[in-house]
Structure 1
Amino acid sequence: MTEAPWYDIVAIPALLRHARNTYGSAMREALEAAGYGDIPKNGLYVVGGLALGEGDVPLSELIRSLRISKQSAGQLVDTLVLRGYLERSEDPQDRRRLVIGLTARGRAAAAVQTGARERIDAQLADAIGSAQVTSLRKSLAALIALDHEQDSPDDDA
């Protein structure tokens, strides 16, 4: 009788957590080496996410995407502002709202973070092949869609 591979026995949430740790550890090590070791927990998500976007993001959108309390999100933003990664300003379309954006230091840290992520992505593609990485992305997108009550990703994508 053939034993099932270890990854067939481990629950998917545990696999996701450990896979996330692979990326997080690589990013933290790269940031530390480059002098950006003071980014707090959840700060990687904020800095990296803002770097992918186009311009400033409303603070309310950030709070919603992090799924943390307004108070915790505010403290995180305050810390990132004080440490020079973010700047806060009024929304030009609605002065009652605040938007956040990356500073030059934040963009530099995001570039280091992106480089670490790309190294892990390349190692993963070497280990399982580009088609499998694409399949993994599609599977994760379907899982995310379940949470957001959206349709599954396109089968042709």
Structure 2
Amino acid sequence: MPAYWLMKSEPDECSIDDALAAPNKTVPWTGVRNYQARNFMWKQMQPGDGVLFYHSSCAEPGIYGLAEVVGAPYPDPTQFDPRSKYFDAKSSPEAPRWWLVDVQARRKTAPLLLTQMREDPKLDGLGVLLKGSRLSITPVSEAHWHYITTTLL
């Protein structure tokens, strides 16, 4: 049974349009440097899991598309590259600290903005709406997934 996730990306780093334009519409979800978000990718995500593609750190944050996890997790190569802003000197290929999954864009949607989501009582408890939540990856309940994908997008 697939799980569902909300994955945040800054649109100037990787937008839904960038993902749709990538080879096979697939992008590696690089640069996650939070252990809880990393563990979601490394230990829980499976191919076929649904993804709400969320733009963050922009004028109008919100869900801008749908995607899917494709492939098994693997070490994030940016941790080994000293030129990358995600370089981690304490990590090594023999003992990687950071993992990622590949995400394949399915389609761009009309934006479902954070302000709209906050006003919808049916989205109470959605991880991105919880006070103090700053995780770049959060689980999404099956009820929230179906409501968002069939009613709001």
Q: TM above 0.5, one fold?
A: no
Q: Which has more helix, going by share of residues?
A: 1
What TM-score comes out, normalization by structure 1 length?
0.30
Structure number, greater radius of gyration: 1
The alignment's TM-score, normalised by the length of structure 2, stands at 0.30
Query: Relative to total residues, which structure has the larger strand share, 1 or 2?
Result: 2
